């Protein structure tokens, strides 16, 4: 819900001013240069076909292109997410910036931030999108932004090294070209998908690798081309999907669907549930057979699957059983207690493993604050260290202090 919806104003300049104020109020904009960029760019010129109230709504995307399955392949991202990522990028005047995934409007914000002495290049894999971005940029007075048609997996080496690289499609991995293409003290802001959850992570260079400054949950269209995620998905029934990118996980559609028909069993940990995103990092790093369970509103309303699966929840999957996290109010202490819902013949064993992790998290990690994420490029070690996830181009390592 945004303040815009309540506003009677329908003039683009007024809507824009309103948007900037609301983005500040919600702490999406925290610095003056980003506020100035959002105030300067005529956002509606980058989506001339969309209603003004949609274009200036803080949390709404504008659809641009869909594939044959009716899934978005390109959208104009919502202002709130764009502002958060531009703040994460910490851009200064005069910088050389690469955006991977075009649309036009974000490149215009970038051009405002780097000023007339800076350079912005935006690359997209889809010719329609590049052409559209070019037209909109020229129309709105941002002719100096360079547009390139290419698979962003290879970066745009002609313009490297970059002070900043901002990726605006969900990346499953970090290809060598992005690290190579960064200045020594450069920054990469990338919506990185780790075990099915995407977070916009601001990374700085750390020798040959990367170390995080900050991260925020984010939702993006998936990266296409060479770097596309290789995930397996099982549609158990209408509105229930289990997905995984981990080769160890057995995804037996029939058996898991059958498990859902078996009685639902609940197990309670006695441990507090809070800091959901930190807990999610911990669970996905430690579950022995990790997947993600998604359920539609209808399925949740029917009571078959818990509301925790609305946006996807870490699940522990065996050949014929599934367990996932839930929560309930804790009347004694206030707040919530974490628990597990499990179905299938191995419900109890899966719940035991899950509960152990929920308790370990509450005892050892909950008070340690945000995690630090490292990307260590190179071939996989023969034994994967603790708290790491294997990618094609390196490993993601997560630590708490
Ligand atoms: C969310 S849209 C970009 C939004 C845009 N930055 C804006 O200003 O709102 C994601 C874009 O990434 C593009 N994309 C997907 N895979 C890509 C790849 N491998 N290389 C370059 N662009 C890619 C899609 O075609 C799509 O246009």
The verdict on 116 and 202 lying in the same domain is yes
pLDDT band of 58, cuts 50, 70, 90: very high
Nearest to 207 by CA among 378, 399, 389: 378
Tell me, what DSSP letter sits at residue 160?
P
The verdict on 221 and 349 lying in the same domain is no
* Catalytic member of 7, 74, 77, 338: 77
Least trusted range by pLDDT, from 9-18, 96-105, 189-198, 347-356:
9-18
User: What is the rounded CA–CA span in Å between residue 81 and residue 105?
Assistant: 13
The verdict on 221 and 240 lying in the same domain is no
The verdict on 138 and 187 lying in the same domain is yes
pLDDT band of 248, cuts 50, 70, 90: confident
The verdict on 131 and 175 lying in the same domain is yes
Is the distance from CB of 91 to CB of 188 less than 8 angstroms?
A: no
Is the distance from CB of 76 to CB of 221 less than 8 angstroms?
A: no
51 in a domain, yes or no? no
254 in a domain, yes or no? yes
DSSP letters spanning 60-116: --EEEEE-TTS-EEEEEPPHHHHHHHHHHHT--TT-EEEEES--SHHHHHHHHHH-T
Q: What is the pLDDT of residue 32?
A: 98
Is there a cis peptide before residue 161, judged by omega within 30 degrees of 0?
Answer: yes
The verdict on 274 and 205 lying in the same domain is no
Nearest to 287 by CA among 175, 183, 387, 150: 387
The verdict on 175 and 278 lying in the same domain is no
**Ligand 1 atom nearest residue 228's Cα:** 19
Helix (H) or strand (E) holding 281: helix 276-286
Boundary-marking domain end, from 171, 206, 227 = 227
- 77 belongs to the catalytic site: yes
The average pLDDT across 275-286 equals: 90
Within 8 A by CB and 6+ apart from 15, the residues are 4, 7, 9, 52, 53, 55, 56
pLDDT band of 334, cuts 50, 70, 90: confident
The verdict on 312 and 350 lying in the same domain is yes
**Ligand 1 atom nearest residue 129's Cα:** 27
136 in a domain, yes or no? yes
pLDDT band of 9, cuts 50, 70, 90: low
Cα 124 to ligand 1 centre (Å)? 6
Q: Model confidence over 44-55: pLDDT tens digits?
A: 999 999 999 999
313 in a domain, yes or no? yes
Nearest to 90 by CA among 187, 215, 199: 187
Query: For residue 4, is pLDDT > 80?
Result: no
**Ligand 1 atom nearest residue 61's Cα:** 9
Candidates 71, 102, 104, 200: which one to mutate for ligand 1, based on the most atoms within 8 Å of Cβ? 102
* Beta-bridge partner residues of 399: 372
Q: What is the pLDDT of residue 275?
A: 86
Nearest to 109 by CA among 72, 81, 68: 81
Least trusted range by pLDDT, from 19-33, 127-141, 352-366:
352-366
User: What is the rounded CA–CA span in Å between residue 56 and residue 222?
Assistant: 24
Q: What is the CATH number of the domain that holds 144?
A: 3.40.50.150
Q: What is the pLDDT of residue 1?
A: 41
18 in a domain, yes or no? no
Q: Model confidence over 93-114: pLDDT tens digits?
A: 999 999 999 999 999 999 999 9
Query: For residue 268, is pLDDT > 90?
Result: yes
377 in a domain, yes or no? no
The verdict on 201 and 71 lying in the same domain is yes
Averaged confidence pLDDT in the chain = 94
Whole-angstrom CA distances from 111 to 16, 124, 187, 205 are: 18, 17, 17, 23
pLDDT band of 3, cuts 50, 70, 90: very low
Could you give the count of Cα atoms lying within 13 Å of 76 in the half-sphere of its Cβ?
27
400 in a domain, yes or no? no
Q: What is the pLDDT of residue 391?
A: 94
Query: For residue 70, is pLDDT > 90?
Result: no
Whole-angstrom CA distances from 362 to 194, 269, 278, 349, 358 are: 22, 10, 11, 20, 6
CA angle in degrees (0–180, nearest 5) for 295-225-389: 60
> Strand 119-124 and strand 96-100: pairing?
parallel
Boundary-marking domain end, from 200, 227, 254 = 227
Domain of residue 147 covers: 67-227
Higher pLDDT, 386 or 265: 265
Query: For residue 328, is pLDDT > 60?
Result: yes
Within 8 A by CB and 6+ apart from 259, the residues are 320, 321, 322, 343, 344, 345
The verdict on 166 and 315 lying in the same domain is no
Buried b (16+ CB within 10 A) or exposed e, 264-289: eeebbbebbbebeebbbbbbbbbbeb
The verdict on 71 and 145 lying in the same domain is yes
The average pLDDT across 61-88 equals: 94
Query: For residue 219, is pLDDT > 70?
Result: yes
User: What is the rounded CA–CA span in Å between residue 226 and residue 335?
Assistant: 44
Is the distance from CB of 262 to CB of 211 less than 8 angstroms?
A: no
| Ligand 1: lining residues by beta carbon, under 6 Å | 73-77, 100-106, 123-126, 129, 151-153, 168-169, 220-221, 223-225, 227
277 in a domain, yes or no? yes
The verdict on 123 and 86 lying in the same domain is yes
- Structural domain tally of the chain? 2
pLDDT band of 18, cuts 50, 70, 90: very high
pLDDT band of 7, cuts 50, 70, 90: very low
Query: For residue 196, is pLDDT > 50?
Result: yes
Percent of the chain with pLDDT over 90: 86
């Amino acid at each position: 819900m945004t303040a815009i919806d309540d506003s009677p104003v329908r003039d683009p300049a007024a809507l824009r001013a309103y948007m900037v104020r609301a983005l500040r109020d919600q702490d999406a904009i925290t610095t003056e240069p980003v506020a100035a960029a959002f105030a300067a760019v005529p956002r509606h010129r980058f989506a001339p076909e969309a209603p003004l109230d949609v274009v200036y709504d803080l949390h709404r995307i504008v659809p641009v292109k869909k594939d044959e399955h009716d899934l978005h392949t390109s959208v104009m991202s919502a202002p709130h997410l764009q502002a958060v990522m531009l703040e994460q990028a910490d851009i200064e005047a005069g910088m050389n910036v690469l955006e991977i995934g075009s649309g036009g409007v974000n490149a215009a914000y970038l051009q405002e931030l780097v000023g007339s002495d800076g350079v912005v290049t935006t690359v997209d894999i889809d010719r329609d999108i590049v052409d559209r971005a070019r037209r909109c940029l020229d129309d709105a007075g941002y002719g100096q932004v360079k547009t390139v048609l290419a698979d962003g997996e290879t970066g745009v080496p002609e313009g490297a090294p970059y002070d900043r690289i901002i990726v605006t499609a969900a990346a499953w991995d970090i290809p060598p070209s992005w690290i190579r293409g960064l200045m020594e003290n450069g920054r990469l802001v990338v919506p990185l998908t780790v075990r099915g959850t995407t977070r916009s992570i601001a990374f700085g260079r750390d020798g040959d690798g990367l170390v995080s400054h900050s991260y925020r949950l984010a939702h993006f269209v998936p990266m296409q081309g060479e770097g596309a995620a290789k995930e397996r998905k099982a549609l158990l029934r209408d509105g229930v999907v289990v997905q995984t990118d981990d080769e160890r996980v057995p995804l037996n559609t029939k058996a898991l669907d059958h498990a859902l028909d078996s009685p639902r069993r609940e197990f309670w940990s006695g441990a507090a549930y809070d800091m959901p995103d930190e807990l999610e990092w911990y669970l996905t790093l430690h579950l022995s057979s990790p997947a993600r369970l998604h359920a539609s509103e209808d399925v949740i309303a029917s009571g078959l699957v818990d509301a925790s699966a609305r946006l996807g929840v870490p699940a522990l999957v065996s050949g014929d059983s599934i367990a996932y996290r839930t929560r309930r109010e804790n009347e004694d202490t206030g707040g919530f207690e974490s628990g597990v819902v499990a179905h299938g013949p191995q419900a109890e064993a899966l719940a035991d493993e899950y509960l152990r992790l929920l308790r370990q998290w509450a005892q050892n990690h909950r008070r340690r604050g945000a995690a630090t994420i490292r990307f260590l490029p190179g071939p996989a070690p023969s034994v994967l260290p603790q708290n790491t996830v294997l990618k094609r181009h390196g490993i993601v390592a997560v630590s708490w202090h």
